[in-house]
Structure 1
Amino acid sequence: MQRLNVFFILILVSVMGFAQQPIPRDTSFTVRGTFVKEKKHRPYIEIARPEMSEEVAFLKDQVYKKREERELTVDVYYPKKKIKGNYPGVILIHGGGWRSGDKSQTGSMAIALANSGYVAVCVEYRLSLEAKYPEAVYDIKSAIRWMRANSKMLNLDTKKISTLGMSAGGQLATLVGFTNFNKEYEDTVGNPEQSSAIQAVVNIDGTLSFHHRESKEGTATSSWLNCTYEENPKIWESASPLDQVSKHSPPIVFINSSIPRYHAGRDDMIQQLNSFHVYSEVHTLADTPHPFWFFHPWFTPTVNHAVAFLDKIFKN
């Protein structure tokens, strides 16, 4: 009997230890590490650290989705002053090849947007070491539903929400927007009674197609999609925003570096959008590295382009 009890205790300890295993993390993509790398080629750059206005409130690590294994959170920057009609919202999606990065990397952009009169929400989503496509899309749409469910607290106009993403986040921002009302791209975890639809997209150097003459996607894409193109082309197409363009697509602005591979499919997308009379803009920043949005002298022009577009869509 004693041996049996010891056996069951060992099993219990083993199960508890397994349940408490840390979430796998890839910390290779950081703002500091990227700065050190890019400064070797452009010694004049500086990390952008805008000051948050006293009129802006900050909420950290708000739980938007509870899963059995853990909770997912957002950081929120929003104007304190209440106004009639409330403020438009932006959900910010970090880059990192769908494998690395975290929501803190969109904090500077969120502060700048909140200073300009937007409810800015930095979202944590599950990366490829933890969950494969389309779980990240599910997470982001869940966060948008959370925004609507908490609109009174955030002074948010629920009819005016945009995605904004950088690099891999730009691909996600566009895919989320171009799959409005498509239930195949969302789960029902977290505020299922709310809509996940968005009304505008800000794509900052995010690819639009994974299998395209301009695209150079490889290991990172295959890891996230959990297959190569040859193994399952339909998955690659379903994750490509270019394949989701329709007359229901929201207006979009492309803010791009001078490196063509990071906006693969953009010109084809614009041609399709034009055929549906969907508004789009393109702004290319000359002589820029891919992660230009982190640094001066490009941070302010990036913010200005984004705010001007969002003001045109939501405030004019």
Structure 2
Amino acid sequence: MKKIVILFILFYSAVFAQSKFPVDSSYTVKSVYDKVKKAHPYISYVPARNYKTVKEEKEIVYKKIKDRELHLDAYFNQTKKRNPAIVIVHGGGWRSGNKSQMETFAIEMASKEYSCFNIEFRLSLEAPYPAGIFDVKNAIQYIKKNARKFNVDTTKIAVLGCSSGAQMASLIGTTNGKIAFEEPNSDKKFSSKVNAIVNIDGTLAFKHPESIEGTVAGLWLGGSYAEVPQIWEQAAPLNQTDKNTPPILFINSSVPRFHAGRDDMIAILNKYGIYNEVHTIENSPHSFWFLNPWFDETIVYTTQFLDKIFK
């Protein structure tokens, strides 16, 4: 018994020794389910779906920062043709969540002949903005560099995010080619440009009449709005939207705070003739994309939009 206890202590000591930063595991599919079920007792988990045509490769190292490795999971159709790609950014308030939460979503989209990539990036407890933005852009470069392996058409790359991940995805898409948002030492042989954005219930502006972002956003942005107003403004996709912004799909819950700045952004997109769509899922909570009856509807909207843009 004493030997078992010693081994147990040694094992967990090794685990915690490898973790050089605190980890927030509060945002999970189960925590969402438990919260949502109180007001929506009819909900259910989305069952695991397996498709013979979908190949999976997990824990692929796409970036190293000293002894820190960042990974992505790839799900792609085993066809010989090059497919459009979807780079997927998970939610969790910029401080929680993980790439595996989007696995069911990625597999479903891969079955529809999209090469999908769930990205691990540095969260706010490890590194503040813009580290996570740099990470996802580096992942896009890695995917383009390895396009043949993953059956990717590099001219058809979409970035998709949920909640805080949607804010990040929108910022990544609205900053195509903007030097200030490119990591200085990144591989310049491959562009981080994306050709479409899918924003699933993510804010477009941190300071806005519809927005109530506060402490959690401040942790990621390196301070409160009073302390670093220029960063809060810079990180808002609304403020980066211009004639170079790619087509965008908004899929929203019925909670206004999670699409703050959307209508203002659409006005800019329309000014430049940039295609956009909005779908609001009525009587839906935030994080609806994890659960039935809303999962399938989210997949339908995403597929229809990307098929229109890329196929």
Alpha-carbon distance in structure 2 between the residues aligned to 1:29 and 1:78 = 27
Of 214, 230, 240 in structure 2, the residue corresponding to residue 218 of structure 1 is 214
Of 280, 283, 290 in structure 2, the residue corresponding to residue 287 of structure 1 is 283
1:72 and 2:66 are equivalent in the alignment: no
Query: What's the counterpart of residue 92 of structure 1?
Result: 88
Query: What's the counterpart of residue 269 of structure 1?
Result: 265
Query: What's the counterpart of residue 253 of structure 2?
Result: 257
Runs of 4+, deviation exceeding 4 Å = 17-21
What SS is found at the alignment partner of 1:140? helix
Structure 1: 5+ residue stretches without partners: 1-16
1:151 and 2:147 are equivalent in the alignment: yes
2:106–2:118 CA contact under 8 A, matched in 1: yes
Alpha-carbon distance in structure 1 between the residues aligned to 2:290 and 2:18 = 34
Alpha-carbon distance in structure 2 between the residues aligned to 1:215 and 1:283 = 19
Alpha-carbon distance in structure 1 between the residues aligned to 2:62 and 2:39 = 40
Give the superposition deviation at 1:65: 0.3
1:194 and 2:160 are equivalent in the alignment: no
After TM superposition, the structure 1 stretch with the greater mean CA deviation from structure 2, 40-49 or 71-80, is 40-49
Query: What's the counterpart of residue 6 of structure 2?
Result: none
Aligned partner of 2:256: which letter?
Answer: P
Could you give the per-residue CA deviations for residues 40-83 of structure 1, whole angstroms, max 9, x where no partner exists?
A: 22111111134121011000000000111310000000001112
What SS is found at the alignment partner of 1:290? coil
What SS is found at the alignment partner of 2:278? strand
What SS is found at the alignment partner of 2:86? strand
1:50–1:112 CA contact under 8 A, matched in 2: no
Could you give the per-residue CA deviations for residues 181-207 of structure 1, whole angstroms, max 9, x where no partner exists?
A: 012112145543210000000000000
Task: Give the number of aligned pairs.
Answer: 298
Query: What's the counterpart of residue 34 of structure 1?
Result: 32
Aligned partner of 2:95: which letter?
Answer: R
Residue 207 to residue 93, structure 1, CA distance change in 2 (3 Å): same
1:52 and 2:50 are equivalent in the alignment: yes
1:91–1:121 CA contact under 8 A, matched in 2: yes
Could you give the per-residue CA deviations for residues 96-149 of structure 1, whole angstroms, max 9, x where no partner exists?
A: 000000000111110111011100000001000000000000000000001001
What SS is found at the alignment partner of 2:197? strand
Alpha-carbon distance in structure 2 between the residues aligned to 1:175 and 1:290 = 20
Query: What's the counterpart of residue 156 of structure 2?
Result: 160
1:113–1:120 CA contact under 8 A, matched in 2: yes
Query: What's the counterpart of residue 235 of structure 2?
Result: 239
Alpha-carbon distance in structure 2 between the residues aligned to 1:110 and 1:284 = 21
1:24 and 2:27 are equivalent in the alignment: no
Give the superposition deviation at 1:232: 1.9
What SS is found at the alignment partner of 2:149? helix
Alpha-carbon distance in structure 2 between the residues aligned to 1:19 and 1:30 = 24
Give the superposition deviation at 1:91: 0.4
2:106–2:117 CA contact under 8 A, matched in 1: yes
1:97–1:221 CA contact under 8 A, matched in 2: yes
2:222–2:228 CA contact under 8 A, matched in 1: no
Could you give the per-residue CA deviations for residues 142-197 of structure 1, whole angstroms, max 9, x where no partner exists?
A: 00001001101001000000000000000000000000001211214554321000
Alpha-carbon distance in structure 2 between the residues aligned to 1:262 and 1:21 = 32
Identical aligned residues as a percent: 48
Query: What's the counterpart of residue 7 of structure 2?
Result: none
Could you give the per-residue CA deviations for residues 5-44 of structure 1, whole angstroms, max 9, x where no partner exists?
A: xxxxxxxxxxxx9984533200010101111121122111
TM-score (norm 1): 0.92
Query: What's the counterpart of residue 309 of structure 2?
Result: 313
Of 294, 297, 300 in structure 2, the residue corresponding to residue 298 of structure 1 is 294
1:149–1:191 CA contact under 8 A, matched in 2: no
Structure 2: 5+ residue stretches without partners: 1-14
Alpha-carbon distance in structure 1 between the residues aligned to 2:96 and 2:289 = 17
1:120 and 2:88 are equivalent in the alignment: no
1:89–1:118 CA contact under 8 A, matched in 2: yes
2:73–2:117 CA contact under 8 A, matched in 1: yes
1:65–1:189 CA contact under 8 A, matched in 2: no
Alpha-carbon distance in structure 1 between the residues aligned to 2:42 and 2:185 = 45
